[in-house]
Amino acid sequence: MQKYLTLAALLIAAPLTAHTPPPTAPTAMSGMKHEGMAGMNHDAANKPAAPMPMMEHGKMDGMDHAKMGGMGDMMKNTPANPYAEAGMAMHHKMMVTGSDASETWARQMIEHHRGAIAMSKIAVTDAKDKDIRAMAQKLIATQEKDIANLQSWLERHGKAVQ
């Protein structure tokens, strides 16, 4: 009987908590360390947060990567993952935006496909499995066609190709 009462209480409370907005008062989030967190100073005037620092060589300016518990190592190529640096570069380049959602999608997909090509070229040279090398080679050709189609769309819509 106790189980059913607990379940009933949860079912009644769940819709109430699902619609309860998060706290907005500065004191409601006391105990959290907000110093140094962009946009998290509740005492400051309502200003937009500073943009994220630019990345160079896979690292964000001003960050101490030695204290990131191996996160910096995830951004470096290893024998098991020779794609780390190409993947990081792709994700950084995918931050490009256009004048609207359509252009942004096209530009981000171009960079996504370029990243796939870069990783596939590594697979063609480094992968031991011949089927993977063949799939990677085929993917390069497919992605190049997709990039050409996306570039063509940009051009047809009066946008600069990238």
Reported confidence tier of residue 121, pLDDT bands at 50, 70, 90: very high
pLDDT of residue 78: 87
pLDDT of residue 93: 86
Contact 87, 115 (CB under 8 A): yes
Q: How many C-beta atoms surround the C-beta of residue 66 within 10 A?
A: 7
Pair 113, 136: CB distance under 8 Å: no
Spell out the domain ranges in the chain.
Answer: 2-156
DSSP secondary structure code for residue 20 in this structure: P
pLDDT reported for residue 5: 59
For residue range 33-57, list pLDDT tens digits in order: 545 545 444 444 433 334 445 544 4
Nearest to 82 by CA among 119, 130, 56: 119
pLDDT in tens, 52-97: 455 444 455 555 555 555 556 667 888 888 888 898 889 888 899 8
